[in-house]
Amino acid sequence: MEIQVNGVTLYYEVLGNGPKPFIFLHGNGEDHNTFTGIEKYLGDSYTLYLVDSRGHGQSSNLEKITYGDIAEDLISFIKSLNLKKPHVFGYSDGGNVALIAAIAQTDLLADIMIAGANATPEGLGTALRAMKEEYKYKPNKYLKMMLDEPNLSSDDLSRINNKVYVVRGEHDVITRDHTQWIAQSIPNSEYIEVENQDHGSYVSDSLMLSTIIKKYMTEDTRE
């Protein structure tokens, strides 16, 4: 399916037939296929919306992309489809986008789970230097966005009223201190560390991911 928002075309797929809308946001350079296996485990409880961010997948290909623009697209997507309090899972860059959207319009969303997100480029730890070197030789819009953004402060994060589950793989490239700082800055948050997993291994494993979602996003928080 396609929808026009903010002058761009967003491609998305709708899976499952559950009563509650649940939006899944992929990482940098990826697309909705990151999550296609999740329907088997969550499709009875939720209607799943798998969205290609602008500049990714089958959505509009743009020369420049920013987390802020992608977050505005998410907000417009929700409003255009008249989704009532959707739950959001954001992986990596998708988690960054979910945070920015929640800061902008916290009442629009239900609970949120972010995985491997960073609120500033410094959260990338030692990987940041490698990315800077790579950009010198292979400049591209995806790396540029990661090097320049996001730039969220504790004050920004403190404005989020949603319940936010802040997830990190034990061996994630995003540093533990940074991820814990994100969680500590959000008033209603819970920090979760997944043992023996890296940045995306538990996200690409649909069974493992769905188990985490079911464990923490309980019936009480879904109301």
In the chain, where the domains are located = 2-212
pLDDT digits (tens, 9 = 90+) for 77-91: 999 999 999 999 999
Pairwise CA distance, residues 35 & 33, whole Å: 5
Whether the full predicted model's pTM is greater than 0.85, yes or no, is yes
In this prediction, residues 141-157 reach a mean pLDDT of: 98
At residue 154 the predicted structure's pLDDT band, cuts being 50, 70 and 90, is very high
pLDDT single digits (tens) 44-59: 999 999 999 999 999 9
Q: Residue 164 has what pLDDT?
A: 98
Statement: residue 31 has pLDDT above 70: yes
Q: What is the CATH number of domain 2-212?
A: 3.40.50.1820
